Amino acid sequence: MSLLSMRYRSQVFEDYEKQSFIKVLLQTPPAAWDGIMLSEVQMLPIQEMLSGVVNRMDGFIMHLDGAVQLEYTVDSHYAKEPSSRGMLTLAPANTPMGFRWNGPTKNFGCFLAPALHQRIATEYTNRDPAQIELLPRVNFQDSLSENIMWTLLHELESGNLGGRLYVESLAQTLLIHTLVHYSSLAQVRSLPEGGGLTAAQVRIVRDFIDANVQHEIGLSELAASINFSQSYFSHQFKRSLGLTPHQYLIQVRVERARVLLEEGKLTVGEVATQVGFYDQSHLTHHFKRFYAVSPKVLREKTRMNLE
């Protein structure tokens, strides 16, 4: 278990072979299957934590060989634990994570375009897919997911004897299982209903986010601001605002970025840092989802109007 992908500028496999600690053993061509990429890699140990690791696709990683001590960070949570054959990691697209491992290891990855889980969420639930998030998990066991990953690895090694439909069916089964068990949808289903947050609690949480928007904000910090457990807080927050805490935080950051861009005093990169995004590309990804235009274009239009 180790690196998911470096912060690629476009597809997850761009510059993959150039990483000194990565040896690609086998992978699908970028356009082999629409929205599905498979890769088997050998990883050398690294000494420093790789922070801010981001996938452009939803990543499912399985540890194949090499017992290692794995260190990782997700949403301000740090852990160090052994990882071995069959252990899994779920890394949703655009979710920052950090990793370090102390020995050579071999991994298999299945990377799926976010549009796939959004389509499946639409077909198999009665909810808006934009409101259903895959939740990151590291170094866990799940027998069904593991079996699907071994089957996908066999398909990669066999040159896809089963054909495209077989791979797409396996990927769909993996995503349905993930949506049921490892998404905000699963989180809501497994928690007591409750009545949502009070107006005072909502105000406290909003004030906390507004005051710390430029920093890393973890679920534990938000829950602690009103003395809730993390899982109960997430459920009640969603009931009250119609968004997950992460979705709300992204919305706040994008809206604040728009205000700063319209003022025209900062570059796009400076705005990204000011509102808590990891870099300009991370801001651009979310900004275009909200406003259907890049922050650079908005800033240029604003400057022209000011002139």
User: Which residues pair with residue 183 across a beta bridge?
Assistant: 134
Three-point CA angle 153, 94, 245, nearest 5°: 120
Cβ–Cβ under 8 Å, residues 251 and 243: yes
Dihedral (C-alpha) 241, 246, 250, 251: value to the nearest 10 degrees? Answer: -10
Nearest residue to 38 (alpha-carbon basis) of 140, 133, 159: 159
38: helix, coil or strand? strand
What is the pLDDT at residue 307?
57
SS3 content of the chain, % helix, strand, coil (to 5): 45, 20, 35
Report the Cα 234 to chain-centroid distance in Å: 17
Query: Which residue from 151, 19, 3 is spatially nearest to 63, judged by alpha carbons?
Result: 3
Using only C-alpha atoms, the chain has a radius of gyration, in whole angstroms, of 20
What phi, psi does 259 have (nearest 5°)?
A: -60, -45
Structure tokens at 241: 């605002």
Per-residue pLDDT in tens (0 to 9) along the chain, 307 residues: 333 332 323 333 344 445 678 888 998 876 667 788 999 999 899 888 777 666 788 999 999 998 899 998 887 788 999 999 999 999 998 888 888 899 999 999 999 988 888 887 777 666 777 778 888 999 999 999 999 999 999 989 988 776 777 788 888 889 888 988 888 876 444 434 556 888 888 889 999 999 988 887 877 788 889 988 766 777 788 888 887 787 888 889 999 999 998 888 889 999 999 998 878 888 888 888 888 888 888 888 777 665 5
Tell me, what's the pLDDT at 104? Answer: 92
pLDDT score recorded for residue 31: 61
* E strands, the chain, in order: 22-27, 36-43, 50-53, 58-65, 68-74, 77-83, 88-91, 97-101, 105-112, 137-140
